[in-house]
Amino acid sequence: MRFFYTLLLIFSICFLSAQEKHLKNLTRLTNGGDNAEAYFSPNGKFASFQSNNKAWGLECDQIFALDISKARKDSTYKPPMISTGKGRTTCSFYMPNGKQILYASTHKAAETCPPAAVIKGKYLWAVYKDFDIYVADLKGEIKKQLTNTDGYDAEATVSPKGDKIVFTSDRSGDLELWTMDIDGKNQKQITTGLGYDGGAFFSPDGKKIVFRSSRPKTEEDIREYKDLLSQHLVAPSTMEIYTCNVDGSDLKQITNLGKANWAPFFHPSGKKIIFASNHHSKKGYDFQLFMINDDGTGLEQITNESVFNAFPMFSPDGKKLIFSSNRNNHGTRDTNLFIADWED
């Protein structure tokens, strides 16, 4: 009987590996807490990410800079913290020089963590009005504040060309995409449709942007969206993937799958998009990675293990994929960072 279960286990592992055919040499990089939004440095050797790991004395998300080589070798490795340790942070990204990291933080308004979003019966994200975007060096010293408006400014990422930053702001009354020069100047709104436009990334050539959007259509959905936004909240249960040019022109809806399609990132070819989705799930909370052509065809499932896989990013050379997953968490609720060799 023991031999039978051993064979079954081996078969299961092989089956899952076969189903995740694009991911080779999968390695866990963190060990405990919720670790998410890991994005490679320009040389691909480091990754910035956010974590609320209680073992590190954290009350809410802070920003860290992960040495990928060290994390591969040592499960007890604690990367250096880049954020101030005050307030709540989100959405970090390396600057083009590889020596600085931008991120959003509420620390200027208060040193304590702002309260989590809670409305009974709804899964919500808080869009804290005190978020602004900062740039810090690798020792955690803030070098510049890029935004200073009344309202939510966060979700910033940098163009591979090194010239522009895209971010989400509600300064115009809705959650829209904005761009600015790498030094924070020339801040311009590039989307205008009602709904939450966010989580944007540039294409490899820096000419296009991919993002998630809620875009409510019915009177009821519009009313609910506006009501939640007035409370600095969004319900991320219905989102699709869109692309546009850097100036906002040529807006296209790429997915029409229903439920939550989010965390998109361009494939190194610039012709495909990898993203997280629960459109296939009856439970709702079953997020897998999918890939789709930039014209909306050729949908392919990339992961099928565990019930949460999200925030995928390709390395600058296109050879590796980093993402968050709650696989192999030994029955806890931990979400860890994983890295794998990517095979087309």
Q: Where are the domains of the chain?
A: 25-342
Residue 2 has pLDDT above 90, yes or no: no
Backbone angles phi, psi at 151, to 5 degrees: 135, -175
Spatial neighbors of 97 by CB under 8 A, at least 6 apart, are: 42
pLDDT value for 116: 84
Residue 7 has pLDDT above 70, yes or no: no
Residue-wise pLDDT for 298-322, tens only, equals 999 999 998 899 999 999 999 999 9
Q: Which pLDDT band, with edges at 50, 70 and 90, does 18 fall under?
A: low
CA–CA separation, 109 and 334 (whole Å):
29
Residue 3 has pLDDT above 50, yes or no: no
pLDDT value for 9: 37
CA–CA separation, 183 and 228 (whole Å):
32
CA–CA separation, 293 and 220 (whole Å):
32
Spatial neighbors of 260 by CB under 8 A, at least 6 apart, are: 236, 237, 238, 239, 276, 277, 278, 279, 287
Residue-wise pLDDT for 144-158, tens only, equals 999 999 999 999 999
What's the average model confidence in pLDDT over 267-293?
94
Length of the chain, in residues: 344
Residue-wise pLDDT for 32-57, tens only, equals 999 999 999 999 999 999 999 999 99
Residue 230 has pLDDT above 90, yes or no: yes
* C-alpha distance from residue 309 to each of 19, 259, 261, 288, 322 (Å): 14, 15, 12, 5, 11
CATH of 25-342, one of 2.120.10.30, 3.30.2270.10, 3.30.930.10, 1.25.40.10: 2.120.10.30
Global pTM? 0.93
Name the percent of the chain lying above pLDDT 90: 88
Residue 14 has pLDDT above 50, yes or no: no
CA–CA separation, 331 and 324 (whole Å):
16
Q: Report H helices in the chain.
A: 2-19, 68-73, 219-230
Residue 112 has pLDDT above 70, yes or no: yes
CA–CA separation, 256 and 250 (whole Å):
17
CA–CA separation, 174 and 172 (whole Å):
6
pLDDT value for 1: 45
pLDDT value for 117: 79
Q: Which is nearest to 81 in space by CA: 116, 45, 97, 105?
A: 105
Residue 70: DSSP 8-state: H
